[in-house]
Structure 1
Amino acid sequence: MILSVPLSLGGLIATAPSARAVPSMARQTGYECSKCHTVFPELTPYGRRFKLGAFADSSEKWDERPWTQRLPFSAALQGSRTSTSDTAAGGTGSSDFPQNDKTILQTAAIYYGGKIMDNAGALVQYNYDGIEKRWGVEMFDARYANGVTVAGREMTYGVTLNNSPTVSDIYNSTPAWGFPHTGSAATQMPAASIVDMTLASKVSGVGVYGMWDDLLYFELANYRTAKTGFFRFMALGQSWNSDELAGSVVEGNSPYWRLALQKEWGPHSVAVGTYGLVSRLKQDANVPSLGANRYRDIAYDLNYQFISGEHSASSRLTWINERQRRNNAVISEGLASNSINTLKTLRIDAHYYFRRQWGGGVQYFRTTGSTDELLYNTGDSLMGSTNGSPNTKGWIAEINYLPVTNVKLALRYTWFQQFNGASTDYVPGRNASDNNSLFLMGWVLF
């Protein structure tokens, strides 16, 4: 359910959401964090069921405590440092990489994570973004769940109110939960972007979901821009007059669907599914005459997980096919060459952890799409594309160490083989490899 606008593929690398694992939920259930997560934020089978059950499962000891001792609040701090291979090639400079080679407070977050009442709970993140330098609601997912018998089999069903497509999903292959789980301060941005990530924290959506017989998982939802009205609180921290909102304001309704089949046996679990989004996004929210463009995305994903004793491993594949249709006003104003474009994104990753303490993962990513001279050849010395192509591919490798359960240290390297349509001179004097980056991150939850 990826959409594309002329912003950035940074949703894949530079603006990935900060990952979430909430200690208040461990206190609520009486289980160690490893019950729900292999290494946070990757969910185990129990973690997926806990989310389907509206985060409401709790121990008897917890339920017997006074309400003042059951407030499900947690917090997190993330510090990071990013070093980019070359910040001068092609005429770029320090202003294009304002956080490069600086140690920054990347995130300071407060969570409401857990039970509200029987059959209802929420996972809400309000945080300071050290990259954007602002406070806001990054994530909101409030749920109600119950159970019923259908065709002689048990089905968990529920309703979710959330502020980002795919944040409600139970698998770690969708854009909201996929690897890499935390973004970096790097600003290298290919020409095509994941609109799922540009819509995050800017929309409100209501969905219904269910899991039948631990076999069939489904969700149907609808999203609208949370600019005004009752649901405005779900987009706190957004500046609706900012240029960064270009191409991320929904006109009318944006329907979303999800369907997956899963199977668990012994230490193994596998799921195969599809999801998608149809949206009309305003070309420029501040220029109504430019109208809205239509995006239709259909995605397929595959998840495999192995958990046994001291060992855990997982592998995922996501493939997203997008069709873009731009309106006549956009074409006549010379903002795009083609009225119809396509964009295809592939992500394949694998991970291994020993004792949930040492491990890491590797990912291959690739985006290919229609050549569009006006859309992608912007003339920007860092994010432009001389040949008008969005094609980008490369590898991400990350090593993790967890000295204690709620502390995670990560070292990540991103290697671009192709960037905006070329390996060399994608803009004059700048190569794909100039955007390679080394990312160091420390993360503590409490």
Structure 2
Amino acid sequence: MKINNTISPSLWATALVLLTNLFASQTAQALPSFARQTGMPCTSCHTQAFGPNLNAYGRSFKLNGYTWGGNESALSRFGGMAMASISNTKKNNDDIPNDHVLANRGFNSNNNVAFDQASLFYGGKVFGKMGAFVQFTYDGVASRFALDNTDIRIANDVDWLDQNFVYGVSFNNGPTVQDLWNSTPAWGFPYASSPFGPSYAGPIIDGVAGQVGGATLYTMINNTFFLEAGAYSSFAKYVQKGMGQWSPDGTVKINGGAPYWRIGLQHEAKGHYVSLGHFGFRTDIQPDPNAPVTDRYTDLGVDFNYQYLANPLHIYEVKANYTREQQQLFATYNGGDGSERINQQLGFFGLNGTYTYDQTYGITAGFNHIYGNRDSVVYSASPTNKPNSEYFTFELDYVPFGKKAATDDSYLNLKFAAQYIAYTRLNGADKNYDNTGRNASDNNTLYFNTWLAF
């Protein structure tokens, strides 16, 4: 999710989410090292043979700390990935050559070929009941390195009072990075998108990954009822800088701890899987480290998943999520200079459906809707003074490999994707949304992506 620097709740929040968008990629989690560790093909954990989207076994593998499997070779836990793309927009975007970073990297107002990113991973068992998913990423567009999504777990299970409990602790660098379902911000669709797309508002839970650290305790009871709770705090500035997640305008400063919680219900019968969940995150952000006043963000979300997995030749999925953010902008308001009012609301709704044939060919259609209060200061660049945006995403995928359990095959994993995003509203309007004559549909993007993991 991206936030435009002229419409965000504050200048700090703008820089924060844009910075996170550069370095907290969603394109991970489907690690060939997991296949090498378990001796199983990628299709055992994923609805396609490649990509973050998990099936029931994949969720259980993550829940139990990434430790299943008999391969004890530490070297097999290491892997990597690379991604390249071509992006075309309906009309040229002059902001790209006017951006000094993008211009210096040789990017044009349209038809850009990019080396999106490259990552190194440690994925799998560390020792005993401890496992880890750790990603280091080079952003080929911004030409920067960063510690990306990281989840270190210690997990176990026990039978007590005729009930089975899987329990554990996760140490991670962002709320929902540790989540089991692909309907929360860290792992939601689309799993890859053009780095040259437009920016729009999004909830803070989708904007702090990589700049915070936290721990959560969790349990799954009888593979049905899931509970998780924990808290996050911002890394010190020198730590953020060392991890490649810091900039002068985008440092996260959380006042105290930021609680996070997650509840989920799931059930599977005759190949039909359904889950319903709730998640929440509340944080007090201190925009000025020299001033004690803070902005409070409270995100409350619900999500839904359906998967038909009875026949691996034909897999059907539907995912939905809704997040409502209550903003109390005590620091940003500053007598009306930073916002028109203290209390603001922002909402995000996402829905997508996927059909996968033979875990090789996939087609997905998605819809996203963002809305918020009218504010002539926060959203001054919008002709309606609102952050409202709406867009549709269509994607075709081809995954030729990942169906064999052989170790050699785990070093050749490819995914080809063709994606089209159609914008019907952007930053409050469908026409002249930025007061320069540009329409929302002018940003419609055709994106071709090639993704290699090994």
TM-score (norm 2): 0.88
- Is 1:260 equivalent to 2:260 in the alignment? no
| Alpha carbons 2:197, 2:445 under 8 Å: kept | no
Q: Could you tell me which residue of structure 2 aligns to residue 397 of structure 1? A: 394
Q: Secondary structure at the match of 1:87?
A: coil
* 1:282 to partner: Cα distance: 2.4
Q: Could you tell me which residue of structure 2 aligns to residue 35 of structure 1? A: 44
What is the distance in 2 between the residues matched to 1:119 and 1:220? 20
Q: Could you tell me which residue of structure 1 aligns to residue 427 of structure 2? A: 420
Within a 5 Å distance, the mapping from 1:43-82 to structure 2 comes to 43-59=54-70, 62-63=71-72, 67=73, 70-82=75-87
* 1:386 to partner: Cα distance: 2.1
Q: Secondary structure at the match of 2:186?
A: coil
Q: Could you tell me which residue of structure 2 aligns to residue 341 of structure 1? A: 344
| Alpha carbons 2:133, 2:152 under 8 Å: kept | yes
Residue 218 of structure 1 aligns to which amino acid in structure 2? L
Which one of 161, 164, 188 corresponds to residue 178 of structure 1? 188
Within a 5 Å distance, the mapping from 1:88-127 to structure 2 comes to 92=95, 94-96=97-99, 98=103, 99=107, 100-127=110-137
| Alpha carbons 2:333, 2:340 under 8 Å: kept | no
What is the distance in 2 between the residues matched to 1:11 and 1:266? 44
Q: Could you tell me which residue of structure 2 aligns to residue 86 of structure 1? A: 91
Q: Could you tell me which residue of structure 2 aligns to residue 359 of structure 1? A: 362
Within a 5 Å distance, the mapping from 1:380-395 to structure 2 comes to 384-395=381-392
Q: Secondary structure at the match of 1:28?
A: helix
What is the distance in 2 between the residues matched to 1:411 and 1:431? 23
- Is 1:439 equivalent to 2:447 in the alignment? yes
Q: Could you tell me which residue of structure 1 aligns to residue 255 of structure 2? A: 251
| Alpha carbons 2:117, 2:139 under 8 Å: kept | yes
What is the distance in 1 between the residues matched to 2:150 and 2:291? 32
Q: Secondary structure at the match of 2:400?
A: coil
Which one of 269, 273, 280 corresponds to residue 284 of structure 2? 280
Residue 159 of structure 2 aligns to which amino acid in structure 1? T
Offset from partner CA, 1:70-117 (integer Å, 9 cap, x none): 5410110101121122235xx756325754422111111110000011
What is the distance in 2 between the residues matched to 1:117 and 1:82? 43
What is the distance in 1 between the residues matched to 2:148 and 2:9? 21
| Alpha carbons 1:226, 1:234 under 8 Å: kept | no
* 1:394 to partner: Cα distance: 1.5
Q: Could you tell me which residue of structure 2 aligns to residue 315 of structure 1? A: 318
* 1:403 to partner: Cα distance: 2.1
Which one of 212, 223, 247 corresponds to residue 221 of structure 2? 212
What is the distance in 2 between the residues matched to 1:369 and 1:24? 42
Q: Could you tell me which residue of structure 1 aligns to residue 167 of structure 2? A: 157
Residue 196 of structure 1 aligns to which amino acid in structure 2? I
Q: Could you tell me which residue of structure 2 aligns to residue 196 of structure 1? A: 205
Offset from partner CA, 1:244-274 (integer Å, 9 cap, x none): 44xx432221100000100011211110010
Q: Secondary structure at the match of 2:34?
A: helix
What is the distance in 2 between the residues matched to 1:84 and 1:162? 36
| Alpha carbons 1:257, 1:277 under 8 Å: kept | yes
Structure 1: runs of 5+ lacking an equivalent:
378-383
- Of 321-330 and 434-443, more deviation after overlay is shown by 321-330
* 1:392 to partner: Cα distance: 0.6
Q: Secondary structure at the match of 2:334?
A: helix
Q: Could you tell me which residue of structure 1 aligns to residue 308 of structure 2? A: 306
What is the distance in 2 between the residues matched to 1:173 and 1:153? 28
Q: Secondary structure at the match of 1:166?
A: coil
* 1:427 to partner: Cα distance: 2.2
| Alpha carbons 2:59, 2:181 under 8 Å: kept | yes
When the two chains are superposed, the root-mean-square deviation of aligned CA atoms in Å is 2.5
* 1:136 to partner: Cα distance: 1.1
Offset from partner CA, 1:183-212 (integer Å, 9 cap, x none): 32114112x223223211111011101110
| Alpha carbons 1:19, 1:182 under 8 Å: kept | no
- Is 1:237 equivalent to 2:239 in the alignment? no
What is the distance in 1 between the residues matched to 2:68 and 2:96? 51
What is the distance in 2 between the residues matched to 1:5 and 1:149? 48
| Alpha carbons 2:83, 2:115 under 8 Å: kept | yes
What is the distance in 2 between the residues matched to 1:117 and 1:180? 33
Q: Could you tell me which residue of structure 1 aligns to residue 407 of structure 2? A: none
Residue 114 of structure 2 aligns to which amino acid in structure 1? I
* 1:168 to partner: Cα distance: 0.5
Q: Secondary structure at the match of 2:378?
A: helix
| Alpha carbons 1:81, 1:185 under 8 Å: kept | no
Residue 31 of structure 1 aligns to which amino acid in structure 2? M
What is the distance in 2 between the residues matched to 1:329 and 1:310? 53
Q: Could you tell me which residue of structure 2 aligns to residue 381 of structure 1? A: none
Q: Could you tell me which residue of structure 2 aligns to residue 270 of structure 1? A: 274
What is the distance in 1 between the residues matched to 2:250 and 2:241? 18
Offset from partner CA, 1:22-78 (integer Å, 9 cap, x none): 10110100100010111221111000000011000013xx24xxx46x541011010
Structure 2: runs of 5+ lacking an equivalent:
403-412
* 1:421 to partner: Cα distance: 1.1
* 1:284 to partner: Cα distance: 4.4
